[in-house]
């Protein structure tokens, strides 16, 4: 069962098997408590109650317990794997039954299995947050909420089977500066605990049991990479401009308010994207207006007088809410971002109010993600108008004219940009999602990762026409997706007239360097020619040839997700 697939970790001693049995027992107990809490929340929703009672019976089933114990000790397997094996067999048996009632019960078994495994994996996640020595993590998948809590001094690198270069786990690796490679498909099965591995985030490779000459080579490569980065970082005071002197706004993408100082120090001229959902994923009381206000205000004050673009919650997709009963087949096409916020006005209004209050402390701007309907912008503006009126009557300072923009990250917003422009002050193009939705390529799937390319002509053409439409309407257009941080795409974006590039902190030095070697007419020429090319690979070779020899090769060779 795909949902119950977990990592198989063979055990070597009896003591390990006993430990796994104890973990399983503990997970059963926690699952039971979770179900009881859910039952009391459901109250008199009779149907839901009956379902939960059936699930509790399954958790208490002595046969389940016996079979999992047996699987652990006879197969010498970790608890997650034993549970998934036992339950997958039960599901298979149920599904092959003629009786429709029994067949349907397989959904209950799957649900309970998912809960038990989540408890087991959850305990693993906690352990990851409390590492006592530096390690490389190799996993099937690392949830963004776990990745966000990793510490650079403890995690030397990580490698995952799932994900793509723009999945939020990879984005976080860049912002934390942790080398990472994603979309490996079978590393978790292949790499054994305590085996030596090298994570080459530059080229997107993982080397297991490296030879001595490989260790030497990678030690040298790591050193050169750090030196190149440090040399570029030393230029942080120089104004960012093309070689013919056209100034370019280079801003930072941040996920945590604590990154504000580093953003300022590395020469970012503002924050082009503050992904606020990570505050919520990591801080238990982040629904509180005051907690949010403090985080936003800190960033706004630190970066003043430069702008700080605060994006409203973009939960859903690969950043799960853990909402009971919400199992979507296509989460990226489902309950996500502004769709959730408008559905939960009590939560949304607290965030809007916090952002509006922060607008009194500097140049705060508000950005709405995943917009696909003009009505979503109109509704958000309506809420903001009400909040502004409340703040005024309560005498709370704020900027009633705080700029409001949208992320252009659906083809609906890109193709229909003229419909949105009358309602917005600026746009920021989210090329990660725009690429995903234009090419119909899940940004988190390792199986289609090779098809994900923001240099695809269909994506380039949308960016060019959005920027042109914005400029004709006298409005500003930035790019905050990962494409802005790819040195090879910088000449194209500047050639299309993009006003701002916003990238992870670790990529600011490279991009500043890249901007400095481009002159405006070359960029225009390259962009014009790229728009006529039939494929992303031809666009890449066009730019590669044009900038050959002018830019440190080490920074443009890679296609990995490393930071």
| Residues of the shown chain interacting with ligand PEP in the complex, contacts defined by CB under 6 A | 171, 273, 275, 314, 409, 430-433, 480-481
Q: How far apart are CA 239 and CA 407, in angstroms?
A: 27
Q: Which residues contact 121 (CB under 8 A, 6 or more apart)?
A: 6, 80
Identify what 481 binds: ligand PEP, Mg ion, none; CB under 5 to 8 Å per kind.
ligand PEP
- Least separation in angstroms between CB 455 and ligand PEP: 14
Tokens in use for 17? 């098997």
CA distances from 53 to 27, 37, 38 (A): 18, 12, 10
Min dist. Cβ of residue 333 to Mg ion (A): 13
Least distance to Mg ion from the beta carbon of 370, Å?
Answer: 7
Tell me the closest approach of the beta carbon of residue 430 to Mg ion, in angstroms.
4
Dihedral class, residue 241 (left if φ above 0, else alpha if ψ from -120 to 50, else beta): beta
List 55, 69, 168, 456, catalytic entry: 168
Establish whether 480 is a catalytic residue: yes
CA distance 422 to 483: 27
**Which range, of 193-201, 303-311, 347-355, 405-413, touches Mg ion by CB under 5 A?**
405-413
Between residues 409 and 486, which has the closer beta carbon with respect to ligand PEP?
Answer: 409
Q: Which residues pair with 118 in a beta bridge?
A: none
Is 164 one of the binding residues for Mg ion (CB under 5 A)? no
Q: Is 433 in the site for Mg ion (CB under 5 A)?
A: yes
Rounded Cα distance, 186 and 209, in Å:
16
Residue 268's nearest CA partner among 239, 297, 291 is 239
As to burial, measured by CB atoms within 10 angstroms (0-12 exposed, 13-18 middle, 19+ buried), residue 487 is buried
Contact segment (CB under 5 A) with Mg ion among 23-31, 85-93, 403-411, 482-490 equals: 403-411
**Which residue, 275 or 475, has its beta carbon nearer to ligand PEP?**
275
User: Would strands 205-208 and 426-429 be described as parallel, antiparallel, or unpaired?
Assistant: unpaired
141 belongs to the binding site for Mg ion (CB under 5 A): no
The one catalytic residue among 266, 341, 470, 480: 480
Binding mask 184-203 for Mg ion (x = CB under 5 A): --------------------
Is the C-alpha dihedral spanning 342, 44, 47, 93 positive or negative? positive
- Position 430 contacts Mg ion (CB under 5 A): yes
Does 316 sit near Mg ion (CB under 5 A)?
no
Please state the closest distance from residue 529 (CB atom) to ligand PEP, in A. Answer: 25
Q: What is the smallest separation between the CB atom of 171 and ligand PEP, expressed in angstroms? A: 6
End-to-end, the C-alpha distance of the chain in Å comes to 33
Among Mg ion, ligand PEP, none, the one that 71 touches (CB under a kind-dependent 5 to 8 A) is none
> Which one, 160 or 431, has the nearer CB to ligand PEP?
431
Q: Which is nearer to Mg ion, 128 or 367 (CB)?
A: 367
Residues 6+ apart with CB under 8 A from 185: 161, 446, 447
Q: Which 3 state secondary structure label does DSSP give 179?
A: coil
C-alpha Rg value of the chain to the nearest Å: 25
The nearer residue to ligand PEP, 78 or 410, going by C-beta atoms, is 410
Active site residues: 168, 480
């Amino acid at each position: 069962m795909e949902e119950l697939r977990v990592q198989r970790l063979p055990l070597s001693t009896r003591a390990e098997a006993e430990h796994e049995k104890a973990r399983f027992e503990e997970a059963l107990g926690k699952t039971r408590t979770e179900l009881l809490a859910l039952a009391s929340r459901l109250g008199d929703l009779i149907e839901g109650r009956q379902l939960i009672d059936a699930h509790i019976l399954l958790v208490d089933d002595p046969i389940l317990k016996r079979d999992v114990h047996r699987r652990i000790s006879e197969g010498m397997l970790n608890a997650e794997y034993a549970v998934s094996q036992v339950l997958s067999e039960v599901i298979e048996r149920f599904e092959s039954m003629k009786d429709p009632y029994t067949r349907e019960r397989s959904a209950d078994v799957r649900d309970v299995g998912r809960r038990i495994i989540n408890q087991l994996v959850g305990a693993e996640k906690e352990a990851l947050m409390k590492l006592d020595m530096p390690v490389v993590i190799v996993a099937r998948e690392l949830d963004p909420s776990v990745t966000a809590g990793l510490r650079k001094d403890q995690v030397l690198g990580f490698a995952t089977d799932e994900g793509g270069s723009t999945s939020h786990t990879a984005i976080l690796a860049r912002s934390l500066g942790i080398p990472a490679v994603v979309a490996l498909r079978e590393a978790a099965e292949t790499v054994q605990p305590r085996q030596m591995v090298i994570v080459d985030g530059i080229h997107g490779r993982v080397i297991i049991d490296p030879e001595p000459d490989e260790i030497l080579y990678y030690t040298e490569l790591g050193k050169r990479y750090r030196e190149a980065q440090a040399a570029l970082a030393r230029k942080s005071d120089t104004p960012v401009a093309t070689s013919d002197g056209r100034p370019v706004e280079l801003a930072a993408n941040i996920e945590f308010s604590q990154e504000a100082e580093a953003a300022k120090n590395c020469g970012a001229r503002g924050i082009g994207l503050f992904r606020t959902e990570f505050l919520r994923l990591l801080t238990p009381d982040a629904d509180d207006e005051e907690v949010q206000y403090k985080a936003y205000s800190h960033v706004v004050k630190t970066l003043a007088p430069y702008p700080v673009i605060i994006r409203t919650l973009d939960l859903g997709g690969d950043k799960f809410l853990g909402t009971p009963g919400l199992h979507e087949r296509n989460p990226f096409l489902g309950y996500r971002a502004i769709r959730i916020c408008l559905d939960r006005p009590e939560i949304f209004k607290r965030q809007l109010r916090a952002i509006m209050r922060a607008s009194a402390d500097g140049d705060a701007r508000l950005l709405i993600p995943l917009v696909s309907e003009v009505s979503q912008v109109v509704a958000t503006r309506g809420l903001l108008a009400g909040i502004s009126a409340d703040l005024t009557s309560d005498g709370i300072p704020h900027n009633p004219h705080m700029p409001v923009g949208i992320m252009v990250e659906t083809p609906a917003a890109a193709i229909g940009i003229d419909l949105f422009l009358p309602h917005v002050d600026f746009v920021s193009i989210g090329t990660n999602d725009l690429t995903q939705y234009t090419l119909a390529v899940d940004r988190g799937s390792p199986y289609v990762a090779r098809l994900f390319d923001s240099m695809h002509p269909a994506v380039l053409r949308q960016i060019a026409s959005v920027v042109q439409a914005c400029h004709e309407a006298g409005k500003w257009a930035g790019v905050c997706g990962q494409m802005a941080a790819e040195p090879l795409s910088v000449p194209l974006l500047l050639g299309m007239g993009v006003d701002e590039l916003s990238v992870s902190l670790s990529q600011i030095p490279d991009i500043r360097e890249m901007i400095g070697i481009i002159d405006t007419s070359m960029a225009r020429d390259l962009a014009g020619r790229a728009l006529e090319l039939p494929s992303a690979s031809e666009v890449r070779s066009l730019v590669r040839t044009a900038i050959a020899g002018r830019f440190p090769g080490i920074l443009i060779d890679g296609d990995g997700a490393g930071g």
